[in-house]
A and B are shown apart, each in its own frame.
Chain A
Amino acid sequence: MSIHDLVAEDQPENFSFSAENEDKIVKIIAKYPEGRQASAVMPLLDLAQRQHDNWIPMKAIELIAERLGMAKIRVLEVASFYTMYNLKPVGKYFLQLCGTTPCMLRGSDDVTRCIKDKLGISSGEMTSDGKFSLLEVECLGACVNAPIIQVNDDFYEDLDYDSTETLIGALSKDAPPPIGSVKMRSGSQAETGPTSLEKIAAKSQKKKSEKTAGTLAEQGRN
C-alpha cells in the first residue's frame, strides 16, 4: 500500500482547528513535560479526525507536525500505524464490525451478510450516498455481548441478522436506537436476569434506572 493508496485522493486545500479544539489542544499539550510535546500527537490526531467528518486530511497531519515540532513523516507514521485513524473519508455512520473468534462464533457472519444484503457493502467500502461505510476490525473487547458493531463511537451488542437490519433501518432514518445490547440486557448481565448476588444486582439496577431517568428528564428539559 503506497502512500497514495493510503490517503484520500481528494484532499481539502486547508485545515485548521476550531476555536473549541484549539482550547483543548492547549490543555492536551500541557499534560506532557516540556520538550515532550510530541507525545500529544495521538490526541491531536483524534481531535482532527473528530472535527473533520471522522477522517484526517494531510493538511491536518502537516498542521499537527508543525504544532508539535515534529517531522511530517513522523506524524504520518503514527496516523498510518493505528487503524482507528481514518486517512480516507468514511460514511456518516462508520460501522466497525468485529469478526474475531468470539463474535464469529456468536454469529458475526450473519451480521456481515445482513450489511451486504441491506447496504451492498463489504469491509472497506462505503455506500454511494456516503451514509454508511463498513470495516471489519479485530476484537472490540466486548466479547460477552458478541457480536458487536461499533457505530462511530457507540457499541451495538448482541446482534443477529434481524436486529442488524433494524439497526441499519434506524440509522438510515438518522434515528439511532439506544446504545448497548439490542436485547436490552444490562451490561453483560445474563439475559435471563441475575443468577447470583441477586440483591446487589437489583440494587444496582435500581440505581441505574434512576440515573437514566434523571438524565432523560434533563434531556427533556433541554
Chain B
Amino acid sequence: MPKLMVNSIEVEVEQGASVLQACEEAGFEIPRFCYHERLSIAGNCRMCLVDMERAPKPIASCAMPAADGMVISTQTDRVKKAREGVMEFLLVNHPLDCPICDQGGECDLQDQAMGYGHDGSRYKEAKRAVEEKQMGPLIKTIMTRCIHCTRCVRFATEVAGVPDLGAIGRGEQVEITTYLEKTIASELSANVIDLCPVGALTSKPYAFISRPWELNKTESIDVMDAQGSNIRIDARGNQVLRVMPRLNEDVNEEWISDKARFAIDGLKTQRLDKPYVRRDNGKLEAASWDEAFAAIAKKLKKVKPNNFGVIAGDQIDAETLFAMKLMMEKIGSPHMDCRQDGADIDGNARGSYLFNSTIAGIDEADAILIIGSNPRIEAPVMNARIRKQYLASGLPIAHIGQSVDLTYPAEYLGSNAAILTEIAENNHPFCNTLQSANNPMIIVGNGVYTRNDAKALLHYISEIIKTFDVVHKGWNGFNAVHNAASRVAGLDIGFLPGKSGKSARAMLADAADEKLAMIWLLGADEIDTSKLENTFVVYQGHHGDVGAHCADVILPGATYTEKNGLFLNFEGRVQEVRRAAFPPGDAKDDWSIIRAFSAVIGQPLPFDTHEACRQMLVSSFPHFAEIGQIRSSRWKKIGKSGKISDEPISAGLTEFYMTCPISRASQTMADSRTSRENNTKQIAAE
C-alpha cells in the first residue's frame, strides 16, 4: 500500500492505483478526458498532468502508478499552465459550435475549458473538418468535435466485446470509425454516448430535442429486462425524452442496454388512453370507466369464479400484482399466473428462482455454465459483467443451448438436453472444470423453465449442484435469469395458481376449448391470443398490442415511467420505479384500477392510496420494504426426475430489440433491428 503526499496531504492508496486516483483520494479533482475508471488507460489526452517531485516535466497522472514516497502537487503554476496548454491544443481543432451541440450543458470539454482553460484562443488558422460516420440508428456522429480520447473504442472493445470501433489514420488525420461504417453490433452500443466527453457521439433519437437544464430528472428502474438496471428518466413536461444510466455497482455499474435507453419513443405511440368496450356490433368503442367496469361486472356475475382467470404480464409492479391477488381471493378464483411464457417455476422454493450469486458475485466466479439462456440479449449488462470477469480472470465458461456469440469465448457444449445428465453423472469433459472450481456458477435461463420437461432438467441441474458443490458455505452458485421484470415479485407474492388453480398455459388451453369463460390480461401480451377467441377478455395495460386487440373490455393503465411501484430484479433485489410523467388521457395507475373495480363488484380492497397498498404488501411480505437489498434465500433441491425430451435446448429469447409492448411500439427499436439485420446480411453476403 503505497503512501504518498498530494499537495502536502498524505494518502495511502491500494497497490496498483494511479497517481490520479491518489489525488482524488486526497480530495483534489484532476481534469481528464480519456481516463475512465472502467476502461483501460490510454493516457492520450494529457489533461491530467500533475507535478511530481524530481520529475523534469509534468506527468500524466492517469498513467503513472502511485508509488511510495511520491510527492505530487496539483496546484502549481506549472500544472496550471500545462492544463491551459493542453486545453488550448484540444480546442485547436474542436469547433466552437456549442450553441448547436447536443452535448452543451453536460459537456466535459465545455466544463473543463471553463475550469482549466485559457480565456481565449491564439489559433487563427483553419480548423480541420471530419466527415460524419455511420454508426447506426442510435448514435449520431459529429466527428469534427472528436478529441480522440478513444473512450468509445475502448468501451466497444473491452466492455461490449465487439471490436467494431477503431481509430484510423494518424496525426491530424486520425478519425474514429467503425469498419466500413457498419452499425455497432452491440446491445450496449449507446453507452458510448455517455462516455463521449464531447459532442462527437450523441443520441440520434434525442438530437435537438432538449437541453439538459430543461429536464426533470427522476431516478427509476428499467423494466425492459429483468436485471433492473438503475436509470434516470429525463422528462420535460409530461414527455419522457430520454433515459440515462444511474450508477449502481451491484446491478448495472454505469451501463444500460440500448433497449432500456431507446425504447421510450414507444411510450408515445399505440397508447391506450381511454377505456374501450366491445359493443354488440363486435366493434371496440371508447367508453367511460363506469361503462367499462359495468361491462366487466355484468359478465363476472354470470361467470362462475372457477371459470375466470388472470394472467399477469412482464412489466407489472408488485403493488398491482398484490392488489390483483387480493381481488382474486375475494372473487374466489384460484386461476392466476404471473408466468405468461409458461415457465415452470416452483414458487415455493425462492432460492431456486433467484440469481443467487448476485450480479456483483460474478466478479468472484471461477467457472460458469450457462444453460438455456443467451445473456447477451436477455440481460446485456449482466453479460458485460461476465465478460469483465472473463477479461480479469480468464475463467472457463461453457454454454448449453443455441450456439451464439456471447462476446467472450464460451465453450459450446451443444444443445442436447442429455448433456445435463452426462454432467450430472460426472461423465462429461466439463466436469473437471466444475470439479476444480471453488465458486462455480450455473446460469439457468428461460429456455429451461419454459420446456415441458423443465422439472426433469432442473432435477439434473440439482444433481450437478450437489455433485460439484456448486452451493456451499459462502457461495450459492445457482442462478436463474428471467426475462420478465415482474417475474420475481410475482413469484414472491405468490401470484401463482392457487389450490387446484390453472397455470397460464392451462388457462389458455382451456380457453381454446371453451372451458374458461373469462380472462383478465394484466398487461399480458406475450401469449397466443388466438386461443382467446371465445373467451371474454379484459385487457388492462398501456399499449394497443396483441392483448388489447382481442379484448372485450380495455382498461388503460400506466407504463413504468408513469407510476410508482416496486420491482424485484432476478437477484431478488427490491427496487423502486418512480413516476416521471402522467399516464395519457383517462389512463390510470394499475393498482387503482383494480381497487376501483373491486368496489364495483362490492368487494372493496382495504386501501385507498398507493402508500396504503404498499404498506399492506409490506406487512404481508416484509422483504419488499428493504429497498435496494436482496433477502437471500436458501438453496433447496428442485425439479423432479423424469424423462427428458430430445428437443434441443434453446435460449429464453432470440430477439433483443422488440420484446414487450413498449419496445414493439418503438420506431427506434424497429430501426435498430433492421440495421442489425442488414449488418448480418452484409456479412453473410461476403
A3 at the interface (CB under 8 A from B): yes
**Which of B22-30, B171-179, B266-274 is the interface stretch?**
B171-179
Report A69 CB to chain B, min CB distance, Å.
11
SS class, residues of chain A in contact with chain B: helix
**Which residues of the other chain, B, contact A213 by a CB distance below 8 angstroms?**
none
Q: Is the CB of A73 within 8 A of B170?
A: no
**Which residues of the other chain, B, contact A80 by a CB distance below 8 angstroms?**
168-170
B481 at the interface (CB under 8 A from A): no
A82 to B131, CA, bound (A): 21
**Which residues of the other chain, B, contact A72 by a CB distance below 8 angstroms?**
179
**Which residues of the other chain, A, contact B164 by a CB distance below 8 angstroms?**
71, 73
Q: Is the CB of B133 within 8 A of A2?
A: yes
Q: Which of A3, A82, A83 contacts B177 (CB 8 A)?
A: A3
**Which residues of the other chain, A, contact B168 by a CB distance below 8 angstroms?**
3, 6, 73, 76-77, 80-81
**Which residues of the other chain, A, contact B170 by a CB distance below 8 angstroms?**
80-83
Q: Is the CB of A74 within 8 A of B169?
A: no
**Which residues of the other chain, A, contact B303 by a CB distance below 8 angstroms?**
none
Instruction: Tell me which residues from 641 to 655 in chain B have a Cβ below 8 Å from any Cβ of chain A.
Output: none
Instruction: Tell me which residues from 1 to 18 in chain A have a Cβ below 8 Å from any Cβ of chain B.
Output: 1-3, 6
Q: Is the CB of B163 within 8 A of A71?
A: yes
Q: Is the CB of B166 within 8 A of A6?
A: no
Q: Which of A58, A73, A81 contacts B169 (CB 8 A)?
A: A81
A1 to B157, CA, bound (A): 23
Q: Is the CB of B166 within 8 A of A77?
A: yes
- What residue in chain A is nearest B178 (Cβ atoms)? A73
B165 at the interface (CB under 8 A from A): yes
**Which residues of the other chain, B, contact A2 by a CB distance below 8 angstroms?**
130-131, 133, 175, 177
**Which residues of the other chain, B, contact A1 by a CB distance below 8 angstroms?**
169, 173, 175
Report A101 CB to chain B, min CB distance, Å.
19
Instruction: Tell me which residues from 127 to 166 in chain B have a Cβ below 8 Å from any Cβ of chain A.
Output: 130-131, 133, 157, 163-166
Report A100 CB to chain B, min CB distance, Å.
16
A72 to B165, CA, bound (A): 10
A6 to B133, CA, bound (A): 14
- What residue in chain B is nearest A1 (Cβ atoms)? B173
Central interface residue in B157, B163, B166, by most chain A CB within 10 Å: B166
B618 at the interface (CB under 8 A from A): no
Q: What are the interface flags for A39-81 relative to B under an 8 Å C-beta threshold, 1 for contact and 0 otherwise? A: 0000000000000000000100000000000011110110011
**Which residues of the other chain, B, contact A58 by a CB distance below 8 angstroms?**
180
**Which residues of the other chain, B, contact A77 by a CB distance below 8 angstroms?**
166-168
A72 to B175, CA, bound (A): 16
B181 at the interface (CB under 8 A from A): yes
Q: Is the CB of A73 within 8 A of B179?
A: yes
**Which residues of the other chain, A, contact B178 by a CB distance below 8 angstroms?**
73
- What residue in chain B is nearest A83 (Cβ atoms)? B170
Report B217 CB to chain A, min CB distance, Å.
36
A selection of 26 A-B contacts at a CB cut-off of 8 Å is: A1-B173, A1-B175, A2-B133, A3-B175, A3-B177, A3-B180, A6-B168, A6-B169, A58-B180, A71-B164, A71-B166, A71-B179, A72-B179, A73-B166, A73-B178, A73-B179, A74-B163, A74-B166, A76-B168, A76-B179, A77-B166, A77-B167, A80-B168, A81-B169, A81-B170, A82-B170
Give chain A's interface residues, CB within 8 Å of chain B: 1-3, 6, 58, 71-74, 76-77, 80-83
9 shortest A-B CB distances, which residue pairs? Answer: A71-B163, A73-B166, A2-B131, A80-B168, A73-B179, A81-B170, A77-B166, A72-B179, A1-B173
Given contacts A77-B168, A80-B169, 9 further A-B contacts (CB under 8 A): A2-B130, A71-B157, A71-B166, A73-B166, A73-B168, A73-B179, A74-B163, A77-B166, A81-B170
